[in-house]
Amino acid sequence: MASTTSPEVSLEVLPYLRVLKDGTIDRIAGTQVVPAGLDPQTGVLSKDIVLIPETGVSARLYRPNNITKTDHKLPLIVYFHGGAFFISSAADPLYHNSLNMLVAEAKAIAVSINYRLAPEHPLPTAYEDSWAALNWVFGGGEDGDLWVKEHVDFGRVFLVGDSAGANIAHHLALRVKASDPDLKVKIAGIGLVHPYFWGKEPIGGEVTDLVRKSMVDKWWQFVCPSEKAGDDPLINPFGDGAPSVEGLACGKVLVLVAGKDILRDRGRLYYDELVKSSWGGRKEFTETEDEDHVFHIFNPNCEKAKSLIKHLASFINRD
C-alpha cells in the first residue's frame, strides 16, 4: 500500500511558502498568472519578452494601444514588483492590473521586470537580474524591442517599484552612478511605493508592534541570512557599509507610504535622511492615512488607490 505520509517541513514562511526537508519549495500564494494582451478597460496593450536568454530573465512590456510611430515620445517606466523577494511575478494578475492602470494614467511605456526569486535564487540575484534588465533598457536603441526603440523618450526613464521592488529601484539608482556616470540613458527619477527598508533596532511603530516586527525580521532572514540581519546594507540604506543616498543618480525621488504599514517609518526615515543629505534632486513624500502595505495592489478600485496611481503618473510627467 502506498504511503500517505506528508513530506516533512523544514521551514514555513506563512502564508506564502514552505520549504520541505527534501529541498522542495511548496509555494502557497503569489503563483497566479494572467496572459499579456489588450486590456479593454484601460486600452493598454502588453506582451512578454525574454530579456536575458542566459538566465531566462523576462519582462512584460506595456504601451497605450492607440499610439503610432508619428506620436511624440513617451516616458518609460521600468517597474519592479514587490513580494519580499520571494513571491509574485510580473504576470501576477494584481500587478498586471496595476501596470495597466499606471500606463493608461501616465500615458507611458512600461517594462515590468520578472527577476528570479529566492530561495531558489538567493539574493543578490534579484538585484543582478534587475541590473541586467536595466542594461537591456539602456541598449534600447540597438538591442531593444520596437516598442522601446520607437516610442520611448530616453530622457524620461523612471525606476518605479513597490515594497521589495522599491528597494531594488533605490539600489539601481545608486549603481547607475557608481557604474558609469556617462551612461547615454539617464534616470529621470525613482518612485518608491511603500519601500521595503528595515533595520535591526526598531523605530516608530515597530517598537510596539512586535508581532509584525518579528514577521519582517523572519522574512528578511529567509531571503538574506547574513550576520548583519536587518542591518544588512541591502535592506538598511543607513546601516554600516550602505552607500550614501547622496549617490542617487536621478533628478527626483517620490516616496509613498501607508499609515498602517509596518514599513511606514522606514519610508519616512528614508525621506528625512534624503532631505538632510547633500543630494540635490527634488524630493517628495506622501502618506496615505488609514491604509496598509500595498493596499493599491490589493484594492485597486478604491478612491485612495486611484489617487495613488494619479500621483505616480503626475510625478512621471511633471518637469
177-228 per-position pLDDT tens digit: 766 656 666 899 999 999 999 999 999 999 999 999 998 998 899 899 888 9
Q: Is 293 a catalytic residue?
A: yes
Mean pLDDT computed over 30-38:
92
Q: Transcribe 157-176 into DSSP letters.
A: EEEEEETHHHHHHHHHHHHH
Q: Which run of H or of E encompasses 49?
A: strand 44-52
Q: What is the pLDDT of residue 13?
A: 74
Angle at 292 between CA 271 and CA 212, to 5 degrees: 90
Classified as helix, coil or strand, 119 is coil
Q: What is the pLDDT of residue 5?
A: 46
Q: What is the pLDDT of residue 216?
A: 93
* pLDDT above 60: residue 66: yes
* pLDDT above 60: residue 4: no
pLDDT band at 319, cuts 50/70/90?
confident
Q: Is 112 a catalytic residue?
A: no
Q: Is 261 a catalytic residue?
A: yes
Q: What pairs with residue 46 in β-bridges?
A: 62
For the ranges 32-41, 48-57, 219-228, 265-274, the lowest mean pLDDT is seen at 219-228
pLDDT band at 139, cuts 50/70/90?
confident
Helical spans, DSSP H, in the chain: 93-106, 125-138, 146-151, 164-179, 210-223, 264-276, 295-298, 303-317
Query: Higher pLDDT residue, 185 or 171?
Result: 171
Helical spans, DSSP H, in 37-92: none
Mean pLDDT of the chain: 91
Nearest-angstrom CA–CA distance, 206 and 261? 10
% of residues, the chain, pLDDT over 70: 92
Q: Phi and psi (nearest 5°) for 56?
A: 80, 10
For helices 303-317 and 93-106, the axis angle rounded to 10 degrees is 50
Nearest-angstrom CA–CA distance, 107 and 315? 12
Catalytic residue among 145, 261, 296, 311: 261
Angle at 91 between CA 89 and CA 95, to 5 degrees: 80
Q: What is the pLDDT of residue 18?
A: 75
% of residues, the chain, pLDDT over 90: 75
* pLDDT above 60: residue 3: no
Q: What is the pLDDT of residue 286?
A: 98
**DSSP conformational letter for 205:** G
Nearest-angstrom CA–CA distance, 222 and 225? 6
Query: Higher pLDDT residue, 157 or 13?
Result: 157
Catalytic residue among 58, 88, 130, 163: 163
* pLDDT above 90: residue 298: yes
Query: Which range has highest mean pLDDT (63-72, 143-152, 172-181, 215-224)?
Result: 215-224
Sign of CA dihedral 6, 121, 189, 248: positive
Helical spans, DSSP H, in 139-277: 146-151, 164-179, 210-223, 264-276
pLDDT in tens, 215-268: 899 889 989 988 899 999 999 999 999 999 999 999 999 999 999 999 999 999
Task: Identify whether the C-beta of residue 39 lies closer than 8 Å to the C-beta of residue 46.
Answer: yes
Catalytic residue among 171, 194, 293, 296: 293
pLDDT band at 26, cuts 50/70/90?
confident
Nearest-angstrom CA–CA distance, 13 and 235? 18
